[in-house]
């Protein structure tokens, strides 16, 4: 795994020759931050994707033992998180999810790498696999789940309300409405993915 390549891909947009004079409000204060162009945002997103590909290749590397793989994932994830936090809080590039800034991309990618390290230790090194079945079902049809989440969330929520009552998500009070709504929608999507899994129906590219 070559973390230098990943860091270069993720931070390249910080040093673009020209940046537009478009500002967006920062959520934490009254000042503003420069909004990246779509080319810069694409560069950052591709950098995140490259990070995932690199981690997958590293986990499947046959010439490295499990301890070395785990150590590299932990170090790489920690470096990405700390680097993103330093860039974000230095004022160079704020942490803003809405426009997927470089600092946010570094932090989010680093957290994903650390989560991968944790799962790699639990599942591959310790052999605790039985609890992973719900994730296996989701991973087998991740494209279908993504499309459903983008296209069908309002419709699925309306089905819950049609058959269980319009206040089904308000039984614990308005403040818990979203807490009940989105797990119910997610469970519905997962059940569809489970049916697809049992019937060997997979959406792939």
Contacts of 14 (CB under 8 A, 6+ apart): 87, 92, 93, 102
Three-state SS at 21: coil
Output the pLDDT for position 114.
96
Kindly report the pTM of this predicted structure: 0.68
Output the pLDDT for position 2.
52
Three-state SS at 126: coil
Output the pLDDT for position 48.
81
The 10 Å Cβ neighbour count of residue 183 is 10
183, two tokens: 């797990």
Output the pLDDT for position 43.
66
Which is it for strands 23-25 and 32-34: parallel, antiparallel or unpaired?
antiparallel
3-state SS string for 40-97: HHHHHHHHHHHHHHHHHHHHCCCCCCHHHHHHHHHHHHHHHHHHHHHHHHCCCCCCCC
Residue ranges per domain, the chain? 3-128, 132-198
Please, which residues bridge with residue 34 across strands?
23
pLDDT tens across the length of the chain (205 residues): 455 444 444 444 444 333 433 344 444 444 454 555 655 566 667 778 888 888 989 998 888 889 999 999 999 999 999 999 999 999 888 888 877 788 888 999 999 999 999 999 999 999 999 999 999 999 999 999 999 999 999 999 999 999 999 999 999 999 999 999 999 999 999 999 999 999 999 998 8
């Amino acid at each position: 795994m070559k973390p230098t390549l990943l860091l270069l891909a993720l931070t390249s947009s910080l040093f673009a020759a020209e940046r537009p004079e478009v500002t967006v409000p920062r959520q934490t204060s009254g000042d503003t931050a420069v909004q990246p162009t779509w080319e810069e945002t694409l560069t950052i997103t591709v950098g995140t994707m490259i990070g995932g590909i690199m981690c997958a290749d590293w986990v499947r590397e046959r010439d490295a033992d499990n301890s070395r793989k785990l150590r590299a994932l932990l170090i790489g994830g920690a470096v990405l998180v700390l680097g993103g936090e330093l860039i974000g809080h230095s004022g160079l590039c704020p942490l803003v999810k809405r426009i997927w800034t470089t600092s946010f991309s570094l932090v989010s990618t680093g957290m994903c790498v650390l989560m991968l390290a944790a799962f790699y230790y639990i599942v591959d090194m310790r052999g605790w696999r039985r609890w992973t079945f719900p994730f296996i079902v989701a991973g087998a049809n991740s494209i279908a789940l993504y499309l459903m989440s983008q296209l069908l969330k309002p419709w699925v929520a309306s089905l819950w309300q049609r058959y269980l009552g319009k206040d089904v998500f308000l039984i614990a009070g308005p403040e818990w409405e979203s807490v009940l709504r989105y797990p119910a929608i997610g469970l519905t999507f997962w059940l569809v993915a489970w049916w697809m899994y049992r019937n060997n129906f997979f959406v792939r590219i």
